[in-house]
Amino acid sequence: MVAEGSARPASGWDDIATAAVDAVVAANRLRQPRDLAAGSVRTALSQTGQPVVSFASNDYLGLTQHPAVRAAARAAIDDYGTGAGSARLIVGSRPVHSRLEERIASWRGTEAAVLFTTGYAANLGVITTMGRWASVICSDELNHASIIDGCRLARAPTQVFGHCDPAAVDDVLARAGGAGMVVSDSVFSMDGDLAPIGDLSEVCAARGALLVLDDAHLVLDHPESLHPHCRVLRVGTLSKAVGALGGFVTGPRAFMDLLVNAARSYIFTTATAPASAAAAAAAIDVIDSAEGAALKKRLRAHIDRIRPGHPSPIIPIVVGDEDRALAASGALQQQGILVPAIRPPTVPVGTSRLRVTVSAAHSDADIDRLLGALRHSGIDV
């Protein structure tokens, strides 16, 4: 122990932290959060007060601001308080959690669903749990970080396959034998393209492999169907198109029972806040209604105005150079349009981009402003 009154020795960790941050600064990659004055697409930068239209949110249907969703959250706080207080398997489960799981299973047309605190936790839970029995895990090279981390924590060896290459998956599964597992995003978060889930499911069905699909960004219908004999688990998030917070996994009941009893990111974490669960259930009711269909139609129309035929609300404009991406983002912000510059390590070196995300909450005038600002800045969509 250090004697009272003596000088405290300098920590080597101080030097490590300072040097690491300095390296980020030197690479011009220092990031810091910026507060927005409100959660709607038409908002303002809190620090400067500058009004902006945000094309940076994953609130694809605008449901974070929906009156029914907000009312459900307020009612849940009145009924249950602000937090669950414990993990689901101890004393943290509430009727609102069970009702949400039933609602998700009905919405997705599956036997059962398990609620996680985030989509990140859901990916960790399903991949590390099922990875205990997998002979190999095949993971797309552009999968989300939560999938990558799940593969790293799993006990099975992982083989990264070329982007959207079912033939490579078939080759890996054939060589590995046993009970293989294939993991892929359904919609890739930085490119907005779709996984070939039809072909992947056909390979998995032929090889007896488990297919795990992350539907986090799947808000519009996927044009491909799954092979009827493919065993599939689907991961989703409640924090994007659903407009709340949380994650889930859907699939056969036996698999869901296994996750409840074996997934560490489910067992060892406090349950989702009741307000978030209630908001998610209300939002799913909206999505599953005529209003939801109209919102998706509006979203589709906005996407087609920017890039006709693009399959998702994520529209990347790849510029290559990091400094150029930052300059382009800054030029748009000066015109009141908020579009983030995405740089390494989020995307590979040389593929820095503007990531435009579109919402049904945008108006036609908002899309006009975006297109005008892009043209004014010399940016080709």
The string of pLDDT tens digits covering residues 198-243 is 999 999 999 999 999 999 999 999 999 999 999 999 999 999 999 9
The per-residue pLDDT for 3 is 59
Largest pairwise CA distance in the chain: 72
DSSP 66: -
Pairwise CA distance, residues 369 & 339, whole Å:
12
Interior/surface letters 153-165, b for 16+ CB within 10 angstroms, e for the rest: ebebebbbbeebb
* Cβ neighbours for 193, distance < 8 A, ≥ 6 positions apart: 164, 187, 311, 312
Pairwise CA distance, residues 57 & 367, whole Å:
15
- Pick the closest to residue 357 from 3, 62, 32 (CA basis): 62
Contact, 381 vs 340, CB < 8 A? no
CA–centroid distance for 325 within its chain:
23
Contact, 100 vs 244, CB < 8 A? no
Per 3-state DSSP, the chain is made up of helix, strand and coil in percentages (nearest 5) of 45, 15, 40
Domain ranges for the chain, please list them. Answer: 32-60+313-376, 66-287
Span 32-60+313-376 CATH architecture? Alpha-Beta Complex (3.90)
Query: Average pLDDT for residues 142-157, to the nearest whole number?
Result: 97
The two three-digit tokens of residue 341, written as one number? 């510059």
Threshold 0.85, pTM exceeds: yes
Common-topology check for domains 32-60+313-376 and 66-287: no
What letter represents residue 25's amino acid?
A: V
- Pick the closest to residue 377 from 316, 320, 335 (CA basis): 335
The per-residue pLDDT for 8 is 64
DSSP 64: G
Pairwise CA distance, residues 172 & 167, whole Å:
9
- Pick the closest to residue 62 from 363, 361, 362 (CA basis): 361
Query: Average pLDDT for residues 240-252, to the nearest whole number?
Result: 98
Contact, 289 vs 296, CB < 8 A? no
For the cut 90, the answer to whether the pLDDT of residue 367 exceeds it is yes
The per-residue pLDDT for 11 is 75
Pairwise CA distance, residues 274 & 4, whole Å:
47
Contact, 38 vs 336, CB < 8 A? no
3-state secondary structure of 167: helix
CATH class in words for 66-287: alpha beta
The CA-atom distances, in angstroms, between 68 and each of 12, 41, 71, 219, 241 are 53, 18, 5, 20, 15
For the cut 90, the answer to whether the pLDDT of residue 86 exceeds it is yes
The per-residue pLDDT for 167 is 98
